[in-house]
Structure 1
């Protein structure tokens, strides 16, 4: 029997021991980084219900109809490949309860590189960590390799 697949979030763990419990609703990610990794895996595996659930109530897309958002998320996920993720930096919650994660998402659309670096904000909603917002940059717009960035050096 072949080994269970590795998790798309690049944690090095098997999917069933990493992001699967979150996607199945069996557990909540313990911190903002785990939530961010689970969202990347959800795009890779087309777990669009988790992508919707993991949005913070303050995220602008939460004001849109759920069915419409699920359809858009499914279309995006089906049209892209997600070969890997690099987490470069993280910051625990500040006085407002906002935690940050800086990551490089490798994404391809029909062979074209659509990868990006994002500084994401997350906040706990009383049930679990949720994605609030993000600021993204394309690798070509950065002064050096994306993996060399930190939260302190991420361009504003």
Structure 2
């Protein structure tokens, strides 16, 4: 995992595995130069924020009704791969959307994964993570 005080090189491959560079993909969302235009792109950028240790971005993109007061990321957890399984809504003209994914990670030498079906809502033109379904 990258040190949260040292941003990922913009020319590096984006942790969300979109095939784009970090600067051309999630880095521009993390840096505030753009907002994610779809629920899937917000979910990918949030995964990338976990990968680079950007807790501030995660809190900023969390819906106010479900956002924790603070978020402590595990510095020993290394996020290794994201698999998007499906989406529902969440497009450019939608106000709600859902994304199902599996996020793979390694912690203390053990590989594991997190499967989640996340809900997103658009508030004042910006997508926010609401919660996980089931």
1:86 equivalent among 79, 83, 108: 83
Alignment partner, residue 120 of structure 1: 118
In the TM superposition, what is the alpha-carbon distance from 1:36 to its structure 2 partner? 0.3
Tell me how far apart the structure 1 counterparts of residues 52 and 62 of structure 2 sit (CA, whole Å).
Answer: 17
Deviation digits for residues 90-113 of structure 1 (CA, Å, limit 9, x no counterpart): 0115xx932000111011111112
* Higher strand proportion (structure 1 or 2): 2
User: Is 1:15 the counterpart of 2:13 in the alignment?
Assistant: no
| In 2: Cα distance, 1:46 partner to 1:101 partner | 22
Structure 2: 5+ residue stretches without partners: 1-9
The equivalent residue for 2:107 is: 109
SS of 1:17's equivalent in the other structure is: coil
Q: TM-score, normalized by length of structure 2?
A: 0.84
1:59 to 66, 70, 83: 66
Structure 1, unaligned runs of 5 or more:
136-155
Q: Find the counterpart in structure 2 of residue 141 from structure 1.
A: none
TM normalised by structure 1 equals 0.72
Q: Take 2:95 and 2:34, find their aligned partners in 1: how far apart are those partners?
A: 21
Runs of 4+ in 1 over 3 A off after TM superposition: none
Q: Who wins on radius of gyration, i.e. which is larger? A: 1
- The alignment yields a C-alpha RMSD, in angstroms, of 1.8
User: What is the count of residue pairs matched by the alignment?
Assistant: 122
